[in-house]
Structure formats: structure tokens, C-alpha cells
Amino acid sequence: MYYENCARLAPEMGWTASLCSVDRARGFVALHQGDSQHARTYFNNALQTARDKNWNDARILCLAGFAALYAVGAEPAVAARFFAAAGALMAANRVQVSPVDQLEIDYFLTLCRAQCDPHVFEQAWAVGRTMTLEQTEVCALELAS
């Protein structure tokens, strides 16, 4: 209920940045509730808002949401690639990750590792670390459609 109220109030108050964060949080909540379809919509909305405003930090954090989506969707190699890209981009851009976002990332990364053959994980991780923000976003949006 909290996030729904925030999502309703943010546009009225002109808090576009908050709406991006709220959609990302709603995506993680949906994943924990087993609702991948809504999670995909929330992460997609958050990424589109961040792209429209050219908020690189938010764009990068959204990629971690897509990684979590693919970890839950039993696509651990895709998830590993997204987690690696997001991590490399966070480090390169010195993105401040909130404790709540970090908990979500850690939880879903652990899930991803548990599902993936170690060799496949390392290969996907190596590919992800070389991806640019734009490449990763295109891939996320293609997979989300």
C-alpha cells in the first residue's frame, strides 16, 4: 500500500525521481510475491523514466532489477550477465546504492548463483562486465518485451 500511495502522489508533486525509485521498489516487491509479470512492468517503467530524464545512476540500478527478474525466471546466465554489467557500471560511475537496494541485489544474486553452473556463471559474468550501459539497456528492453 505504501508504494502504491507513493506512485500515486509522486506525479502530483512533481517527484519524477521518486517515481523511478518507487517503480524499482515495486518491482522487487512483486518478485518477492511471485509476480514476475508486474515486476517486469515496474522495472520497465522505472528504466524508461530514468532514460527519459538521462539519470544514469537510476538507469544502472534498474539493470539490477532486470537481473533479479531473470534470476527468478530461471535464466541465471542472463541474470549473471545483467548483475555483472550493473556492478561494473555502478563501480565505474560511483553509484550510491541504498542499503535496501543492496539487500535486494545481494538476495537475487545469491539466487542466481545457486541456479547456475559455476562455469556458465563465470562466462556470463565476464561478458556482462564488458557491456556498456546502452548495450545492457537495449538487451533488457528487448528481453522485457
Q: What is the CATH number of domain 2-144?
A: 1.25.40
What pLDDT was estimated at residue 3? Answer: 44
- Which grid coordinates belong to 109? 544474486
* Largest Cα–Cα separation, the chain: 49
**What are the two backbone dihedrals, phi and then psi, of residue 98, each rounded to the nearest 5 degrees?**
-65, 155
User: CA-CA distances (angstroms) from residue 112 to 51, 83, 95, 105, 136?
Assistant: 26, 9, 22, 10, 18
What pLDDT was estimated at residue 137? Answer: 85
Helices (H), 35-132: 36-53, 56-72, 76-93, 99-115, 118-129
- Contact residues for 26 (Cβ-Cβ < 8 A; gap 6+): 3, 7, 38, 42
What pLDDT was estimated at residue 9? Answer: 47
Distance (Å, whole) CA 17 – CA 121 = 33
Whose CA is closest to 73, among 103, 129, 31?
31
User: Are the beta carbons of 108 and 69 closer than 8 angstroms?
Assistant: no
User: Are the beta carbons of 56 and 82 closer than 8 angstroms?
Assistant: no
What pLDDT was estimated at residue 75? Answer: 86
Distance (Å, whole) CA 28 – CA 38 = 10
What pLDDT was estimated at residue 141? Answer: 78
Query: pLDDT truncated to tens, each residue of the chain (145 aa)?
Result: 544 544 444 555 565 556 678 899 999 999 999 999 999 999 999 999 899 988 899 999 999 999 999 999 878 999 999 999 999 999 999 999 989 899 999 999 999 999 999 999 999 999 999 999 999 888 887 776 6
